Amino acid sequence: MVKNIQFTTDAKKANYFMNTKKREMDMCNGPLFRKILIFSLPIMAMNILQLLFNAADMIVVGRFSSSRALAAVGATGALINLIVNLFMGLSVGTSVIVAQDYGADNPEAVSRSVHTSILISIISGVIVMIAGLILCKPLLVLMGTPQDIIGLSALYMKIYFLGIPASMIYNFGSAILRAVGDSRHPMYYLVFTGIINVILNLFFIIVMHMSVDGVAWATIISQYISIVLIMSYLYRCDGAIRFIPRQLRIDVVKLKSIVRIGLPAGLQGLLFSISNVLIQSAVNSFGSTMVAANSAASNIEGFVGTSMNAYYNAAITFTGQNMGAKKYDRIDTVAKVSTVLIFVTWIILGGAVILFGRPLLGIYTPDKEVIDLGMRRMIIMMATYFTCGMMNVYPGLTRGMGYSMMPMLSTLIGACLLRIVWLATFFAWYPSFTVLFICYPVTWAMAGIGQVVSFFYARRQIRKRSSQNLNCPDARQ
């Protein structure tokens, strides 16, 4: 394997880069539907496997420990996302910038983006870990976490956050690989480490008689194994994305570009998490039985959402590469294909969740009351889940074109602020969990409309700018 890349001429450099690209998917030429689907399927499988492994955490503690342990793990999800999402959003900037550089056939720019991103992930991981360790218990108290589970929830979070640096590096590494068309290797690594996670779950809970701490230790051990795998692969690569430790430094220009796109994406995730934390606080007010039902139901619903999220990653990568190649008309086709795939996924998976909801909830817990409450939530959510897919996927198209602020504002106004208003008005007037969960489809629809409008605005601006460049005499010289 070649470890040092040196080019004596521009022709050799271009030839080397093109030979590398031939091994990846060509996103800038040819029909798009099949390519988007092929690219999305490994991401979808990876996301589903991740949820399966997360579900295994909850199933193991729910079945072999107690319903209190299940509720304790479930009560931490929104809070963990709140602390993590701001920095994790920077990986979106990585994906867009690497994809644009790659589509523009600029290997030096790709390399600078890669090494800047990896260093960002290391620094971010340490910051988030420290913040999580310090803030987890006070925030759980602030959320009104039931007293019978707050101790277990705090224990789980403190151990979990020790693995955040590994999770951060893995997600940035996966973003780099997806940006150049490789969605398979992250899936392979997740399968391997996920199996290890499940085995360790069973060992710690059944053999060692541990509780939520056993599940947390199993998670972070598998996370550190995952970064060894993905960083080893990047180190062995012979292309522009190859990781060379001595080149690990912050490129200021690339940092600004990544932050310009990634920070609004992170803020969007943060704002979403704040609204979800407020909803989780409302759920907590109904007691630990409702917390357990909400946790199990949301975990099952996540399989539909995370499947649609694969199209978000595809939209970022395909749009980014075609932006770099200046093939703007293909972006419209990416949007059309993404919309069709969202609808088909909603019909198939959403329908399956409603049809098989009770036996699926029964996997998590034998408690009939938990199953009944969980089923009522899932019917409300699945009926309009298509709007959630539109809200989540269209920002990928807009960010791939380099516009990241508008998707954030659409989420802020259409989802986050509207959810706060809903909690302060309708839920305050009619404090039932049905009224509480109806806020999801209402806010999905409003935010989804904003995201579609943002996409069309960005597309118009790109075409306008392209037309001005073509009409400019200096641009034609």
How much is the mean pLDDT over the chain?
A: 83
- Return all residues near 138 (Cβ < 8 A) that are at least 6 apart: none
Task: Mention every residue, 6+ apart, whose C-beta is less than 8 A from residue 83.
Answer: 128, 131, 132, 135, 136, 161
pLDDT at 10 over 60: no
* pLDDT tens figures, 236-259: 887 788 898 888 888 899 888 888
Question: Is residue 284 within 8 Å of residue 144, measured between CB atoms?
Answer: yes
Q: Where are the alpha helices (DSSP H) in 143-251?
A: 150-160, 164-179, 184-202, 212-236
pLDDT of 63 reads 66
How far, in Å, CA of 215 to CA of 219, rounded? 6
pLDDT bin (cut points 50, 70, 90) of residue 13 is very low
Check residue 267 and give its pLDDT: 80
Mean pLDDT, rounded, for 109-129: 90
Report which DSSP code applies to 151: H
In 91-154 the beta strands, taken as DSSP E runs, fall at none
Do 334 and 421 touch, CB atoms closer than 8 A? Answer: no
**Contact indicator for 129, 162 with CB cutoff of 8 Å:** yes
Distance, CA of 456 to CA of 449 (rounded, Å): 11
Write down the pLDDT at residue 355.
Answer: 93
Q: Which residues of 52-73 are buried (b: 16+ CB within 10 A; e: fewer)?
A: ebbbbbbbbbbbebbbbbbbbb
Q: Are 214 and 153 in contact (CB under 8 A)?
A: no
Question: Taking 50 as the threshold, does the pLDDT of residue 8 lie above it?
Answer: no
Q: Which residue has the tokens 């007691």?
A: 287
Task: State the CB neighbour count (10 A cutoff) for residue 468.
Answer: 10
Indicate whether 274 pLDDT > 90.
Answer: no
- Give the integer Cα–Cα distance in Å for 412 and 427: 20
Mean pLDDT, range 124-139, rounded to an integer:
88
Determine the 3-state secondary structure of 245 from DSSP: helix
Listed residue (433, 93, 438) closest to 268, CA to CA: 93
Helix (H, G, I), strand (E, B) or coil at 268: helix
Give the pLDDT score at 375: 93
- Between vectors from CA 112 to CA 323 and to CA 332, what angle results, nearest 5°? 10
pLDDT at position 9 is 45
Q: Quick one: how far is CA 31 from the chain centroid?
A: 27
pLDDT of 219:
87
pLDDT digits (tens, 9 = 90+) for 360-379: 998 888 888 889 999 999 99
Q: What average pLDDT does this structure show over 176-204?
A: 85
Confidence band, pLDDT 50/70/90 cuts, at residue 272? confident
Please write the tens of the pLDDT for every residue from 393-424: 899 899 888 888 888 888 888 888 899 899 99
Is the pLDDT reported for residue 470 higher than 80?
Answer: no
| Mean pLDDT value of segment 159-177 | 89
Average pLDDT over residues 74-90: 72
- Per-residue pLDDT band for 471 (boundaries 50, 70, 90) equals low
- pLDDT score for 16: 44
Task: State the pLDDT at residue 346.
Answer: 94
Distances in Å between the Cα of 79 and the Cα atoms of 17, 29, 54, 90 are 43, 42, 16, 19
The reported pLDDT for the residue numbered 407 is 86
**How far apart are alpha carbons 40 and 178 in whole angstroms?**
10
* pLDDT reading at 342 higher than 90: yes
Tell me which of 142-146, 196-200, 446-450 is least confident.
142-146
pLDDT for 19 equals 47
Q: Directed axis angle between helix 252-284 and helix 385-400, to 10°?
A: 170
- Note the pLDDT tens digit of each residue in 133-159: 988 888 888 877 777 778 888 888 889
Helix, strand, coil proportions of the chain in percent (round to 5)? 85, 0, 15
pLDDT given for residue 1 in this prediction: 34
CA torsion, points 340, 341, 344, 346, in degrees to nearest 10? -110
Percent of the chain at pLDDT above 90? 24
Contacts of 342 (CB under 8 A, 6+ apart): 308, 311, 386, 389, 390, 393
CA dist., res. 179 & res. 154, Å (int): 36
Give the tens place of pLDDT for each residue, 292-309.
Answer: 888 889 888 988 988 898
> Is residue 439 over pLDDT 80?
yes
